Every structure is written in C-alpha cells, then in structure tokens.
C-alpha cells in the first residue's frame, strides 16, 4: 500500500506532501487546475518504473520537458508504503528524480529505493526499479491509471492478447468482458450484480460479434530494401450489448453514458489480474448522485475483499465525498501564482465540530478550499 507521496517541482506542485490514511480509498478534491490529475500522473509514473525503464515511461508527452515545473531544473517524486501484514510487513521508499544538465541540454533521470538499512540509486535512461528487492517491484507494478471515455468503452473492439484489458482511455472493453465471461464467470456474475446496483435499469450484460477495422504495420521488400507500411484489415471482434429495462440487446453506443462508464470501471476492478493501485480521474463522470453513492459502496466492498487493492481518485462531487471520512479527503488548491497546496480535510481547524454537525460532503461544500492556503507560502 502507498502511504505517502511527495511531489517536488512536478507541474504546479512545488512541494506537496500527501499522507494517505489506512483506508485504501482516498479522494483528491479541489478547483479545476488545482493539481489533482498531476498527483495521479506523478504516482503512476513511479509505479510504472516497477516494470519499465525510464526511456519507456518518460517518452513523448510524458517527457520531463512537459511536467517539470516551468523554470525549474530539477524535479522529484518520492513514494513510500508497505507490503504484507503483521510480521511479514516490509516498509519501502522509492523515488525518481530528474536533473537538467545544461552542458548537454538534457534531463538526467535517477531512480532510488530504500528498505530498512538497504538502498540504492540507479542513474540513466535504461534504469528501472524492476530489479529492486522484493516486495518493491510487486508493490509498484500492478497499477492502473484510468481516464475512461464513454465513446471508447462503447466501441466494438478486437484483441489478439491472451488476457485482454481495458486501456487507459477505455478502449478494449468488449474483448476484456468476453474474456471475463469465459474465463472467470463468477466475476462476470458479480459484475452484473454490482452494475445493477449502480444503474438499476440494467438487466444483463452481453456481447455480440462485430466487424472491427484494425491497423497493422507490415514490412515488404522492395529492391532489397525493407519498407514498412500500415495496412487496415477487417476482423471479427466484439461489441458490448446490454439488456435494459427498456429493451434487449441494446448496443453499448446506444446505452447511457453513466451505464457504460460504470461497466468499464467494474470490469477493471473485477479483472482477475486486478491492479494493486487504481488511479482514477473524475470518478463520478456521467453518474447520477444515487449512482455515485452506489459506486463508492461497491468500491468499499471490493476493497474489503481484496487486501492489496488501493484506489485513489479525483472527484468534484460532494455526494462521493459524503461517502468518505474527512481523513480520506485530500483538498488541493492554488492561488493566482498557481502553486498547489494540499491538506487533508481532517486537518481543518474546525474538524471536531464539523464531525458532529455536518456530513463530510456538507463540510467540504461549506468550507471550500481557501482554508488550505492559510499560512502557506508559495514557491
């Protein structure tokens, strides 16, 4: 479990420190642009180093050029946590750092790990935390960061993988559900039950065959030279269809947005290769207040049954916040200058009074985020 994360010069975070309570279900709230998604990104990068090299994790739009705070020549993200319980508990700390080298005009990465009195640093783009001692790679590597998009979830899809998965943006839902239905039918049953709780109009989840266009790259030899080109091919994939109270076998692109988003989330959570750390952006999107509450109670049940699962999500919804305790809520805010400050809702000076008088959502709604900035200095 991740207990603690520190961000230094990561986008708008000049020095943010989030200490998660032991609930394994934590929310990030705050105005638009406060830095919530950035916390999820920084954490996800750290976890990816558990099975990938720097050059794979920090390529293209994930390059430090974009997420190092403008004008700064270094950044770091440090996470700490534990794995195992009781006598088997092992505490760990891992970090990644980027330093800009003016002489060669390049960012230089370094990953480090610590466990008890042992530790090590690994410098360079081909380094990874994969070779750190157990349990560090295991604790880190099964993380998922999702920003599900209903149109992607609804799309017919084909997968050639033995174990298909829902991707970051929601693509690949249909083959993943097909896999779940065939290989893990108990989870598929449970998924249907839980979806019905969130969206009562759902009666049954099904799949049907659909034609899908896939792009494949091909190599051909011309005059002794290899030339690569993209070829699009029609293959048979799957499409999600739902039996609803309004009719049967309704294709996914015709069902409501909230229904398909909830289905996507449950598919990730009930996948047999469930993540240890699930990072979710804007968790309530498309869901009615009642459905939002139902979603959080489903999350709580799944967490209860899976002792290594932790969920960290961003939200703008007081209904979701209402289902959690103040210690589970991290409030983020920034001033005109843009630097993020963050405090846990249970650090609010009036928390004891509020606990007896208001629900968590009412308290957040009444107090907003300005109190987070009291006594804080930017930069």
Ligand X SMILES: Nc1ncnc2c1ncn2[C@@H]1O[C@H](COP(=O)(O)OP(=O)(O)OP(=O)(O)O)[C@@H](O)[C@H]1O
Chain residues binding Mg ion by CB under 5 A are 37
Q: Which residues contact 251 (CB under 8 A, 6 or more apart)?
A: 154, 239, 240, 241
- Which partner from the list ligand X, Mg ion, none does 70 bind, CB cut-off 5 to 8 Å by kind? ligand X
Secondary structure (3-state) at 178: helix
Residue 9 or 155: the one with the smaller Cβ distance to ligand X is 9
List helix spans (H) across 13-170.
Answer: 36-48, 54-57, 64-67, 136-141, 150-154
- Which partner from the list ligand X, Mg ion, none does 11 bind, CB cut-off 5 to 8 Å by kind? ligand X
Helices (H) then strands (E): counts for the chain: 12, 15
Shortest approach of ligand X to residue 324 CB, angstroms?
A: 18
Give the one residue of 6, 8, 11, 141 binding ligand X; rule: CB under 6 A.
Answer: 11
Shortest approach of ligand X to residue 339 CB, angstroms?
A: 9
Do 192 and 177 form a contact (C-beta atoms < 8 A)? Answer: no
Q: Is 36 in the site for ligand X (CB under 6 A)?
A: yes
Angle made by CA atoms 210, 214, 218, in degrees to the nearest 5: 150
Q: Measured between alpha carbons, how far is 156 from 301 in angstroms, rounded to an integer?
A: 30
Residue 159 or 314: the one with the smaller Cβ distance to ligand X is 314
Instruction: Tell me which residues in 48-77 interact with ligand X (CB under 6 A).
Output: 66-70
Q: Is 32 in the site for ligand X (CB under 6 A)?
A: yes
Q: Is 12 in the site for ligand X (CB under 6 A)?
A: yes
Site for ligand X (CB under 6 A): how many residues?
Answer: 17
Residue 192 or 333: the one with the smaller Cβ distance to Mg ion is 333
Q: Measured between alpha carbons, how far is 38 from 333 in angstroms, rounded to an integer?
A: 13
- Which partner from the list ligand X, Mg ion, none does 38 bind, CB cut-off 5 to 8 Å by kind? ligand X
For the sheet containing 225-244, what is the strand order? 202-222, 225-244, 247-251
Determine how β-strand 2-8 pairs with β-strand 16-19.
antiparallel
Q: Is 37 in the site for ligand X (CB under 6 A)?
A: yes
Instruction: Tell me which residues in 329-348 interact with ligand X (CB under 6 A).
Output: 338
Q: Is 112 in the site for ligand X (CB under 6 A)?
A: no
Residues in contact with ligand X by CB under 6 A are 11-12, 30, 32-38, 66-70, 314, 338
């Amino acid at each position: 479990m991740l207990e603690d994360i520190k961000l230094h010069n990561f986008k708008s975070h000049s020095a943010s420190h989030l200490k998660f309570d032991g609930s394994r279900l934590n929310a990030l709230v705050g105005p638009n642009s406060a830095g919530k998604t950035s916390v999820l990104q920084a954490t996800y990068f750290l976890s990816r180093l558990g099975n990938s090299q720097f050059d794979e994790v920090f390529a293209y739009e994930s390059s430090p050029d974009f997420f190092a705070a403008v004008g700064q020549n270094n950044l770091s993200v440090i996470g700490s946590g534990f794995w195992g319980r009781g006598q088997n508990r092992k505490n760990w700390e891992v970090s990644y750092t980027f330093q800009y080298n003016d002489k060669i005009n390049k960012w230089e990465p370094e990953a480090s790990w610590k466990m008890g009195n042992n530790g090590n640093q690994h410098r360079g783009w081909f380094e990874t935390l994969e070779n750190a001692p157990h349990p560090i790679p295991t604790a880190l590597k099964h993380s998922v960061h999702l920003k599900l998009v209903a149109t992607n979830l609804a799309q017919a899809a084909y997968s050639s993988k033995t174990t298909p998965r829902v991707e970051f943006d929601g693509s690949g839902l249909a083959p993943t559900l097909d896999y779940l239905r065939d290989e893990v039918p108990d989870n598929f049953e449970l998924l249907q039950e839980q979806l019905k709780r969130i969206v009562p109009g759902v009666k049954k989840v099904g799949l049907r065959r659909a034609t899908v266009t896939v792009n494949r790259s091909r190599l051909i030899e011309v005059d002794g030279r290899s030339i690569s080109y993209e070829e699009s091919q029609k293959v048979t994939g799957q499409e999600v269809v739902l039996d609803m109270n309004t009719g049967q076998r309704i294709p996914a692109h015709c069902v409501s947005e909230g229904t398909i988003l909830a289905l996507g989330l449950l598919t990730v959570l009930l996948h047999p290769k469930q993540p240890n750390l699930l990072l979710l952006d804007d968790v309530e999107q498309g869901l009615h207040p009642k459905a939002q509450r139902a979603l959080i109670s489903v999350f709580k049940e799944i967490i209860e049954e899976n002792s290594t699962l932790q969920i960290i999500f961003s939200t703008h919804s007081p209904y979701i916040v209402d289902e959690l305790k103040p210690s589970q809520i991290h409030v983020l805010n920034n001033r005109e200058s843009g630097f993020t400050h963050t405090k846990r809702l249970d650090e609010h000076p009036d928390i004891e009074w509020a606990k007896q008088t208001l629900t968590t959502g009412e308290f957040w709604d009444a107090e907003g985020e300005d109190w987070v900035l009291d006594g804080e200095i930017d930069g």
